[in-house]
Amino acid sequence: MAADLLWSPQADEDLVEIHAFIALDSPEAADRIVDKLSSAAELLRSHPRLFPRRPDIRRSVRVFSKRPYLLVYQTVPDTDEGPIEQIIIVRVIDGRRDLKHLL
Protein backbone atom coordinates (compact mmCIF):
# COMPACT_ATOMS: atom_id res chain seq x y z
CA MET A 1 0.00 0.00 0.00
CA ALA A 2 1.30 3.44 -0.93
CA ALA A 3 2.04 5.92 1.82
CA ASP A 4 0.17 9.20 2.20
CA LEU A 5 2.03 12.15 0.71
CA LEU A 6 1.85 15.43 2.61
CA TRP A 7 3.44 18.81 1.90
CA SER A 8 4.43 21.02 4.81
CA PRO A 9 3.27 24.65 4.66
CA GLN A 10 6.91 25.64 4.05
CA ALA A 11 7.23 23.19 1.14
CA ASP A 12 4.02 24.58 -0.38
CA GLU A 13 5.44 28.08 -0.04
CA ASP A 14 8.71 26.93 -1.61
CA LEU A 15 6.82 25.67 -4.68
CA VAL A 16 4.93 28.96 -5.00
CA GLU A 17 8.18 30.93 -4.80
CA ILE A 18 9.94 28.69 -7.32
CA HIS A 19 7.02 29.02 -9.71
CA ALA A 20 6.82 32.80 -9.32
CA PHE A 21 10.55 33.26 -9.90
CA ILE A 22 10.67 31.11 -13.04
CA ALA A 23 7.39 32.56 -14.34
CA LEU A 24 9.03 35.99 -14.55
CA ASP A 25 10.83 34.66 -17.65
CA SER A 26 8.57 31.81 -18.74
CA PRO A 27 5.21 30.85 -17.24
CA GLU A 28 5.26 27.61 -19.25
CA ALA A 29 8.66 26.62 -17.85
CA ALA A 30 7.45 27.44 -14.34
CA ASP A 31 4.49 25.08 -14.81
CA ARG A 32 6.78 22.33 -16.13
CA ILE A 33 9.19 22.63 -13.19
CA VAL A 34 6.44 22.50 -10.57
CA ASP A 35 4.86 19.53 -12.37
CA LYS A 36 8.25 17.79 -12.46
CA LEU A 37 8.73 18.33 -8.72
CA SER A 38 5.19 17.17 -7.90
CA SER A 39 5.65 14.03 -10.01
CA ALA A 40 8.95 13.31 -8.29
CA ALA A 41 7.26 13.55 -4.91
CA GLU A 42 4.59 11.07 -6.07
CA LEU A 43 7.35 8.54 -6.77
CA LEU A 44 8.16 8.58 -3.07
CA ARG A 45 4.72 7.17 -2.25
CA SER A 46 5.71 3.76 -3.57
CA HIS A 47 9.45 4.06 -2.78
CA PRO A 48 9.74 6.09 0.45
CA ARG A 49 13.17 4.71 1.40
CA LEU A 50 14.68 5.18 -2.05
CA PHE A 51 17.01 7.91 -0.80
CA PRO A 52 19.31 7.76 2.25
CA ARG A 53 18.85 9.70 5.47
CA ARG A 54 20.89 12.89 5.72
CA PRO A 55 21.60 13.45 9.43
CA ASP A 56 24.36 15.87 8.39
CA ILE A 57 21.59 18.22 7.30
CA ARG A 58 18.91 17.44 9.88
CA ARG A 59 18.05 14.34 11.83
CA SER A 60 15.77 11.90 9.98
CA VAL A 61 15.46 13.80 6.70
CA ARG A 62 16.07 12.29 3.32
CA VAL A 63 16.89 14.20 0.15
CA PHE A 64 15.64 13.49 -3.36
CA SER A 65 17.49 15.41 -6.07
CA LYS A 66 15.58 16.72 -9.10
CA ARG A 67 18.27 19.07 -10.32
CA PRO A 68 18.71 21.79 -9.51
CA TYR A 69 16.08 21.33 -6.78
CA LEU A 70 16.06 19.07 -3.75
CA LEU A 71 12.98 17.57 -2.18
CA VAL A 72 13.73 17.29 1.53
CA TYR A 73 11.39 14.79 3.16
CA GLN A 74 10.71 12.66 6.22
CA THR A 75 8.97 9.34 6.59
CA VAL A 76 6.55 8.36 9.35
CA PRO A 77 7.62 6.19 10.98
CA ASP A 78 11.32 6.82 10.41
CA THR A 79 12.38 3.16 10.23
CA ASP A 80 14.37 0.95 7.89
CA GLU A 81 11.76 -1.81 7.79
CA GLY A 82 8.01 -2.18 7.78
CA PRO A 83 5.34 -0.03 6.21
CA ILE A 84 5.59 3.73 5.91
CA GLU A 85 2.38 5.57 6.72
CA GLN A 86 3.32 9.09 5.58
CA ILE A 87 5.88 10.94 3.54
CA ILE A 88 6.16 14.59 4.47
CA ILE A 89 7.84 16.94 2.02
CA VAL A 90 9.53 19.36 4.41
CA ARG A 91 11.16 21.74 1.91
CA VAL A 92 11.83 22.19 -1.79
CA ILE A 93 15.18 23.93 -2.06
CA ASP A 94 17.54 24.99 -4.80
CA GLY A 95 20.42 22.52 -4.39
CA ARG A 96 22.98 25.27 -4.84
CA ARG A 97 21.98 26.81 -1.49
CA ASP A 98 23.31 25.96 1.99
CA LEU A 99 20.95 23.25 3.24
CA LYS A 100 22.07 23.33 6.86
CA HIS A 101 21.35 27.05 7.03
CA LEU A 102 17.90 26.69 5.46
CA LEU A 103 16.78 23.79 7.63
Specify which residues 4 forms β-bridges with: 86
Q: Over the stretch 20-65, which tens digit does the pLDDT of each residue have?
A: 999 999 999 999 999 999 999 999 999 999 998 988 888 889 999 8
Architecture of the domain delimited by 4-102 = 2-Layer Sandwich (3.30)
Quick: pLDDT tens for 71-92. 999 999 998 899 999 999 999 9
pTM of this prediction exceeds 0.85:
yes
How is the chain split into domains, by residue range? 4-102
Q: Which of 12, 9, 4 is nearest to 86 (CA)?
A: 4
Q: Within its chain, how far is the Cα of 79 from the centroid?
A: 18
The rounded distance, in Å, linking the Cα atoms of 78 and 39 is 22
